[in-house]
Amino acid sequence: MAADVKRQVVLDTETTGLEWKKGNRVVEIGCVELVERRPTGRTFHCYLNPDREFEPGAQQVTGLTLEFLQDKPRFAAVVDEFLAFVEGAELVIHNAAFDLGFLDAELARLDGYPGMSGRCTVEDSLLLARQRFPGQRNSLDALCKRLGVDNSQRALHGALLDAQILTDVYLALTAGQGEIGFASEAPKAAVVLAPTPVATADARPRVLLQADEAEAHAARLQVLQKKAGRCLWLELEAAD
């Protein structure tokens, strides 16, 4: 491919929990290739055996089970194919720090595999959305609604499905940038975030939940944390 042709890979992962530092693992990777902002039809997708349990609530987000993943390859078996697919591309990721943290942790478990930073550049669509819609909800579902992207098939989170949806969101989010003053040669505007109201523990309602309700609540908080970049409720719980 010619050096001046822009190649992008829209990427998403699903994991056993929210933090790679706690030993959580990647269970699914989905990628969609764009060349000059047009989908080429090339994708990369795999399920992975994580060799560990899901955290409470994480399984509900994806619908994946350890039984389903038991015969799937481990990351070491697909790493070369995955890296060949993304090498040299600009990665488009929603809340990039989350996915890159997990991928770097997976690579660190293997000998001779540097992290992602030297392989690709990164465009964080969450930061782009916050720049365009400051102070508003900028989760993937919220952006779908705001930008008119169909996400009706997203009953559960799947890496390839979410990458395909994010492709449409990203193209809508960045459409016409050259005409509205965001041409690539112009300096990027600084990301300005609206002040976040400070919540306190006393402000939270105290509700006793049944076991199934608590699990569903935990799953919803994980979705917010992963796709919006932060979740005040989880931060408050961690501070208790």
Nearest by Cα to 227 from 15, 55, 38: 15
> Would you say residue 232 has pLDDT above 50?
yes
- Which candidate in 45, 94, 157, 217 is catalytic? 157
pTM of the shown model:
0.75
In sequence order, the β-bridge partners of residue 26 are 15
Known catalytic membership, residue 45: no
State how far the Cα of 150 lies from the Cα of 166, in Å rounded to an integer. 11
Q: For the segment 66-117, what is each residue's pLDDT rounded down to a tens digit? A: 999 999 999 999 999 999 999 999 999 999 999 999 999 999 999 999 999 9
For residue 63 the two structure tokens come to: 């619908």
Calculate the dihedral angle through the C-alpha atoms of 186, 188, 189, 193, rounding to the nearest 10 degrees: 160
Taking alpha carbons only, the member of 94, 102, 215, 191 closest to residue 151 is 94
- 19 CB-near residues (< 8 Å, 6+ apart): none
Domain map (residue ranges) of the chain? 7-239
Query: Does the domain made of 7-239 have the CATH classification 3.30.420.10?
Result: yes
pLDDT band at 235 (very low <50, low <70, confident <90, very high): low
